[in-house]
Structure 1
Amino acid sequence: MAWKSLYLVQINYLYYTTPRLIIVFQWVIMDTMKAVRKTREGPGLELTSAPVPVPQSHEVLVKVKACSLCGTDVHIYNWEHPWSEGRITPPRIIGHEVCGQVVKVGREVTLVREGDLVSAESHIFDGKCMQCRMGNMHICQNLKFFGVDVDGFFAEYAVIPETNVWKNPPDMPVEIATLQESIGNSVYTVFSHDVTAKTVAVFGGGPTAQFAIGILRAAGAASIIVVAGSMLHLDLAKKMGADVVINRHERDPVETIMELTDNQGTDVFFEMSGSGTALAQGLKALRPRGSASVLGLPTKDVCIDMAKDFVMKDITVRGIYGRKIWDTWLTTSRLLLSGKFDPSPLITHRLRLDDFEKGFEAMISGDAGKVVMFP
């Protein structure tokens, strides 16, 4: 499909009595755009033409500069429960990780202005329920999601409520800015416990696990042990700063970790794969009075030894969901600006939005780190 130019910038040259030349940029936005949508129930997505959304008084319109794929998007692509079947009503533009430039603001918007580079918190909270009033917007009782309950960001333009906008430094690379939503999951996980000078085991090789490795290194963990199952993920873990990588297909993770720690176990354990087996193994490899956080979402019931590996070891376990809004965003931004945490090694694919199928194929095959697309 041949797409005509969907926007243009009109430049007006205004001369004043001073010698200065003032250039005014005026965005002229067409009424259609290309977008990746779930057009019908069932597997697959389509690149289609869609109306450019019109921002309401409390919203901003952004021109999408970069968007990135997440495991949730793959579930939607495959039409897997619970993220798709029974939840999404087609047609729906998907995608919830984004970096965009503000091109129009609603009359009530005060936090950003035209030209600002922004990202978006993917959890749309109502600000009224008891959880929101307690500062827990990430677990709002009426939570909605971009790309699931409302149109998302795999498009040329998108609208974002002002309450969900995060303003980026103007010089932040757009392919890094779009990753912040995903990085935030890892930041929230890592800092849910004291990791400084600790021995930490990370189970999982996907992007959130890989981000966690880099954050642990920046946070001063003494030793980072990573358990993953593919050569790509093991290689990425080394690049992100892992001290030891364990191929779960070749070595028993529990036995290996106990050998590495003089039979003491790790101080901290992060489960980031969604595997019940990984959760059980990580708890066994955790020392008594250790601490764990679970970010991965198992798709079926999990069996663990509650007596030996949980109660009798007197451990602390936390469930982690999303990001702490906006605390986690601030920490993420500071980590990126400090230069001590660099997520760029995880970007294995940079694609045009038109080639979105290639990105999903790479994600489904497991032959990808982070896939970033550019409309």
Structure 2
Amino acid sequence: MVEKPRDVRAAVMVEPWHIEVQSFAYPSIDKHSAIIKVEMCGICGTDKHIFKGEVKSLRGKPVFPIINGHEIIGTIVEIGERAAENMEYSGKRLEVGDRVAVAVEVNCGRCWYCVHQYDNITCENQILAYGVRPPITEPPYPPLRGGWAEYMYIFPGSILHKIPEDLPTEVAVFTEEMAVAYSALARAAQPYPGIHEGFGPGDAVVIIGCGPLGLLHGIMARIMGADTIICIDLADNRLKLAETLFADHVINATRTTREERITMVKELTDNVGADLVIEAAGDPETFIDALEMVRKSGTVIEVGNWVETEKTVPLNVQKHICSKNIHVYSVFHCGYRWDRVIKILRRYRKQYPFEKMITHQLSFNELLKHMNTIATDPTSHIKAVVVPHKY
């Protein structure tokens, strides 16, 4: 019998630049829902943009107040009978005590995109995205909807992925982000091998932005057979970790001009440019850099710009895209195949020590103390996570 707490603490973002710890009633469940004890939850770039007030609305609804956190690993403490039978992606029966990763979206299952099995993000009637939307004040379900909480209410229709016992939480917490990298590289993988277009083994790759998302794309590219990998970032600590994990060459953007970086990439890629460039920095200006660095008939993945910040850049469509005959893929979601991602994390965790990316494990009080720095100074950390039961 699980002992239920009377109240549940959560870090609530009530407005830009303002987080406070609030208490909520421990929720009840029905046969279609569940409750998890949150073990660890990553802080994503999206959380930082929301914190800084750069996100004005989400799917037409207000942003605040919100319990952030969508990179969630938790342990089931209660689960309804139907949820136990139906919530696990691969059909496994779920039990109290199982550790799970929580898929971000809960979708309608009825719109054109859901019926035709497009990616989760395309649902036109999305019920919620954990840790993202809607505000916690919107009925009818309990407000514990994000991973920056001690316990979470798992909605009917949610998808959970069971975590193997031998996969540490410090590695499993990268499931959602690694799923983004898996989806991105899968989209770019050689659709036209006969004419040497699309990403494949032996290709040269540039990664712009070496936060956790960029680092995971680098690891995934290496696993999929990339040859030369060049990393570009503002922070030496991130570039050093990239070298430790997979990078052949690193370029610090604070000590080079844009023109110098483009020239360096070409010199390292037979003077033609990279086969694949991944923009993971989240700045629209670096998307233009990616278009300049890729070779003719090469591939660009834009994965960094996840939120609408209203920043725009001039784009010469003929020069940057048409004249180079390139493929451009946007990636806005982590896809469904978390089961495969969990297998990849498990198989490669000794070759790639994912947990080394975690530089900060924060209690709620530490989150309140450090969030301003985490949101504004990318050199201050690599990956920060929230540990709700750390006191």
Aligned equivalent of 2:112:
130
CA distance in 2, matches of 1:112, 1:307: 53
Change (3 A) 1:359 1:140: farther
Q: Under a length normalisation based on structure 1, what TM-score does the superposition of the two structures give?
A: 0.87
Aligned equivalent of 2:99:
117
Equivalent in 67, 76, 97 of residue 93 of structure 1: 67
Whether 1:81 aligns to 2:88 is: no
Aligned equivalent of 2:8:
33
Matches within 5 A, 1:223-242: 223-242=228-247
* Number of residue-to-residue matches in the alignment: 347
Matches within 5 A, 1:209-220: 209-220=214-225
Aligned equivalent of 1:17:
none
Aligned equivalent of 1:184:
179
Aligned equivalent of 2:315:
304
Note the C-alpha offset of 1:255: 0.8
Contact 1:214–1:343, Cα closer than 8 Å, also in 2: no
Is 143-152 or 254-263 further displaced after alignment?
Answer: 143-152
Note the C-alpha offset of 1:338: 1.1
Aligned equivalent of 2:148:
154
Structure number with greater Rg is 1
CA distance in 2, matches of 1:107, 1:45: 36
Note the C-alpha offset of 1:72: 1.6
Contact 1:214–1:342, Cα closer than 8 Å, also in 2: no
Change (3 A) 1:306 1:89: closer
Aligned equivalent of 1:295:
303
Contact 1:97–1:178, Cα closer than 8 Å, also in 2: yes
> Which secondary structure does the structure 1 equivalent of 2:281 belong to?
coil
Contact 2:201–2:227, Cα closer than 8 Å, also in 1: yes
> Which secondary structure does the structure 2 equivalent of 1:28 belong to?
coil
Aligned equivalent of 2:140:
none
> What amino acid maps onto 1:217 in structure 2?
R
> What amino acid maps onto 2:288 in structure 1?
A
> What amino acid maps onto 1:278 in structure 2?
T
Whether 1:222 aligns to 2:204 is: no
Aligned equivalent of 1:174:
169
Aligned equivalent of 2:268:
260
CA distance in 1, matches of 2:374, 2:252: 20
In structure 1, list runs of 5 or more residues that go unmatched.
1-25
Note the C-alpha offset of 1:341: 4.2
CA distance in 2, matches of 1:89, 1:345: 32
Contact 2:277–2:301, Cα closer than 8 Å, also in 1: yes
Q: Under a length normalisation based on structure 2, what TM-score does the superposition of the two structures give?
A: 0.83
Higher strand share: 1
> What amino acid maps onto 1:193 in structure 2?
A
Note the C-alpha offset of 1:87: 3.8
CA distance in 1, matches of 2:201, 2:59: 42
Aligned equivalent of 2:18:
44
Q: Which has the higher contact order (CA 8 A, sep 6+)?
A: 2
Task: Give CA deviations for 1:169-188 in whole Å, capped at 9, x if unaligned.
Answer: 12321222222112211221
Percent identity at matched positions? Answer: 27
Change (3 A) 1:89 1:295: closer
Contact 2:177–2:213, Cα closer than 8 Å, also in 1: yes
Note the C-alpha offset of 1:89: 5.7
Equivalent in 210, 235, 241 of residue 205 of structure 1: 210
> What amino acid maps onto 1:47 in structure 2?
V
Change (3 A) 1:336 1:85: closer
Equivalent in 145, 153, 165 of residue 129 of structure 2: 145
> What amino acid maps onto 2:304 in structure 1?
G
Equivalent in 65, 75, 79 of residue 39 of structure 2: 65
Equivalent in 319, 324, 348 of residue 313 of structure 1: 324
Note the C-alpha offset of 1:243: 0.7
Aligned equivalent of 1:22:
none
Aligned-residue CA RMSD (Å)? 2.0
In structure 2, list runs of 5 or more residues that go unmatched.
86-92, 137-144, 190-199
